[in-house]
Each structure stands twice: as C-alpha cells, then as structure tokens.
Copies of this chain bind each other. A is one copy, B any other.
Amino acid sequence: MVSTQLPDLTPKTDKHKIVIIGGGFGGLYAAKTLGKNDAVDVTLIDKRNFHLFQPLLYQVATGSLSPADIASPLRGVLSGNQNTHVLLDEVQDVDPESKTVVMSAGIVNYDSLVVATGVSHHYFGNDQWKPFAPGLKTVEDALEIRHRIFMAFEAAEKETDPELRQAWLTFVIVGGGPTGVELAGAISEIAYSVLKKDFRKIDTTKTRVILIEGMDRVLPPYDPSLSVKAQQSLESLGVDVQTKSMVNNIEHDLVTMKQGDQQVEIRAKTIVWAAGVTASGMGKVLGDRLNAKLDRAGRVIVEPDLSIENYPDVFVIGDLANFPHQNERPLPGVAPVAMQEGQYVAKLLKERMNGKEIAPFRYMEVGSLAVIGQNSAVVDLGFVKFSGFLAWLVWIFAHVYYLIEFDNKMVVMMQWGWNYFTRGRGARLITGEKDLQSGFKLYQDYAEKDSKVNIKVEA
C-alpha cells in the first residue's frame, strides 16, 4: 500500500526515530524538548516553513502586525538541535504496519509518531457560507480578512447609495469566543479611532460591528463575571453584542440569525467566521488506518498517555486530540494545553527508552486571557480574575513572553508601543493576488444582486 516510487527521506541513523507531524505549539514543544535528547533522531514535518503564533493572528487580520511578526521559521527555531530534521511537506497517509509516514514528495519511517496537525474551520455542514464568511486560521486567512475589512471602507467611500454604503460599513463576526471578541474589538477601534480622519465622504463612526454568539454570554468557557466585563468593554467600544443568537444563513451580504422565535436579518458586506472548528484531515487518516476513536468534531479521543488505543507508539496532541480523562469535557483547544502535551510526550518517550513509565498526562491550568481593545482585557488565572488596563498589561506580557521564547521578536513590542501612542495601524495594506479589477468586479456582482432587505437589528 505504501508507494515505493517516492524517495525515502528517513534519516540514516541507528537511534530511535521520532516523527512529528505539525509545527504548531504542540509539535514544536515536543520537538524542542526532544532536541535535548541525544538518544533520539527527530523529523518534524510541516506544510509551512514557519511556526505561527496563532493567538495574535487577529492582529494581522486587523492591520496591527505583519505576518512575519508572529511567525518564526521552523528551521531557525530548531537549527541548534543537531538531532532534528525539518521537512516541508504535507502528510497524505500513515501505515502503522510498516511504521511509515507518506508525504507528497517522500516517505519517512518512524519508531514513534506524534501527530499534531490541529483543526480547521467548520461551518456546521454549511460549507456554502465559506466564501462569504472566511475563518481565521492561517496567514492567508488573516490577509484575506484584512483585505475585506479595509476594502470595505474604500468601497463605502465610493458608494453613492446610502443603504449600500451602510452595508459596506457593517461588519458581522460570528462566534463570541476569544477570537471573535478580539476581532470585534479591533474592528471597532479601526472604525472609530484609526480611520476617523482618513475619509472625506463617509463617516467611519457610522460603522456597525455586530458580534453574534449562540450561548447566553461571550467567552462561554470563561468565568461568567469575566463574560459580563468583556461584554461591557465591547459595548463601550461600540460593538453590538448579540447573544443567544443562532446564525442560520449567510449570503454574500446578508446574515440571518434566530433569536428566540424571531428571524433577524443583518445586511453586511464583511462577515468573519469565528465559530466552529473541525479536525484536520489527519483525524480521518488515523481513524481509517489505526481505528482511532474520533469525536463528533473528528478529533482523536486519546488514551491517558495521549497515545492511540492499541498503538502505544502513536500519539496525538494539541487541538487534534480529545483528552477526556481530566474534566467532564475535553481540554480546551488552546496553546498552553498543546505545549504541555508536547512536553509530556517528549518526556514519556525519554523515560520509555529507559524502561520507565510515567504518570498519565495532566493539564496544569495556566489561566485564560482575552483582549478587547486598547487598554482593556479580561484575565482568569484561576485564583484571581480581573479586567481592564491591568489585565491588558498581563495580556501583552504573556504574549510577548511566548513570542520571544522562539525568536526574540522585540520588534512586536516596539510596534505595539508605537501603535499604542500613535493609535496607528501601519500594516493596513490591501495586498493579494486578486487584482483590483477582480475586486471591483466582485463588488459589481454584489451590487447587481442587491435587493432591498430590511435591516431589523438596531444600531
């Protein structure tokens, strides 16, 4: 079953060969920890050549930071680890019998395998919404959303029909988790502060930013008191927060949601999806080939030591793993969980080679953070919860601490300092392969489809 036409890229070594798929927080922390272990040989496979600091991706989408500010080249991060190989490639299949990973352009054999390929967007079976409401997972997603946000103001400036102009000035974010909250806050700041003096025909303070959440509060996994604070902060920034609202249709410029028994329509040209996630394709591969148990979202339900049942040499970590052994629900899909899982597996492999076993994985809670805007955030450290300016400082320092761990990105700190004092957003470039012509063609298509739709949600 494993194609032999592909070149064998297995490192020539007698050491225990560990293959890690995915260079996110989980895979990279596993690799970093294993890099100190002379008894093993590590191959890290990723389809991108960089590790992405996803918690700050929304700042790329809203023009505060550049992609390179939050990305570290994997080879650079791991260049000091002489036992570590990095391969830029995409995994297609795993054969547990021959212990082979099959990529697009080669194969690699493993003694132990760590799968850390994460999750992608999920539109709850409504993939037709995707072109109208992109999600935020990759650098390209962020640049696409940035393109749409800033192009919307440009289109509004040229629009002569007042109703269409307001549709260009309406932004809907679906999903009130940390990403949705952070995006909504940032778009409000753009409209009400950054761009205020930049246009001559439109008044950017007429912008509406609407955050839609299905549960009864934003930031549902956080403590309810912080959800209240977060909503207050968002509203003081001008965000229209709609809770207990289920989106049931998205069209090119129209979001329909259910609030109780009522259907409510919002006319908006820019819609961002920050709601569901689903397992990456490796979940299915592991299900098909290793009979791994999958949950409804396609994530792999792992054993207490993060391995797959009957395959003690194959581990799943990070967002792709569903670890049900600690709380009544799976551990949250956040960076600290992935990092700790990566470190755990590295330690387990080291001990196993010494003939020892270690205790099952246990996540050490480190707290939850979300930023709402300049000067405002919510922080839950378990023993203490707080919000406002102090929380914002904690948020800044927590993020810079992890950013500089890999790459000493002091530049991000400088950029933030600069943005803070100037209230500017230097990275609000509209770029991309799409040329302007096709951009405007899109607008014209939109314009042709436009019909009079009643906007029922109040500003």
Using CB atoms and an 8 Å cutoff, list the residues of chain A in contact with chain B: 7, 9, 11, 47-50, 63, 66-69, 71-73, 75-76, 79-80, 84-90, 104-106, 139-140, 143, 150-151, 154, 157-158, 160, 195, 197-201, 407-411, 414-415, 418, 422, 424, 426-433, 435-437, 440, 443
Contacts and interface: CB of A to CB of B under 8 A. Distances in A.
Copies of this chain, complex-wide, total 2
Nearest to A433: B433
Given A69-B66, A411-B415, A418-B411, A79 B197 contact: yes
11 contacts: A49-B150, A49-B154, A50-B430, A68-B426, A71-B429, A73-B426, A76-B428, A85-B200, A90-B437, A139-B429, A409-B426
B430 A49 contact: yes
A158 B72 contact: no
Contacts of A409: 426
A252 to B, nearest CB: 18
A160 B7 contact: yes
Contacts of A428: 49-50, 68, 73, 76
A73 B104 contact: no
Contacts of A199: 75
A393 B445 CA distance: 52
A191 to B, nearest CB: 13
Contacts of A430: 48-50, 88
Given A49-B154, A66-B69, A67-B66, A440 B104 contact: yes
A87 B418 contact: no
A132 B431 CA distance: 22
B408 A411 contact: no
Contacts of A151: 88
Contacts of A87: 157-158
A197 B66 contact: no
Nearest to A7: B160
A22 B428 CA distance: 19
A87 to B, nearest CB: 7
Contact of A418 (B9, B73, B410): B410
A256 to B, nearest CB: 29
Given A49-B150, A80-B197, A195-B75, A431 B66 contact: no
A233 to B, nearest CB: 26
Contacts of A437: 90, 104
Contacts of A436: 47-48, 88-90, 104
A49 B429 contact: yes
A326 to B, nearest CB: 35
8 nearest A-B residue pairs (beta carbon) = A66-B66, A68-B427, A75-B198, A88-B154, A79-B197, A66-B68, A79-B198, A47-B436
A155 to B, nearest CB: 8
A431 B200 contact: no
Contact of A407 (B76, B104, B426): B426
A35 to B, nearest CB: 13
Given A197-B80, A418-B410, A432-B140, A158 B85 contact: no
Contacts of A197: 79-80
A151 B47 CA distance: 12
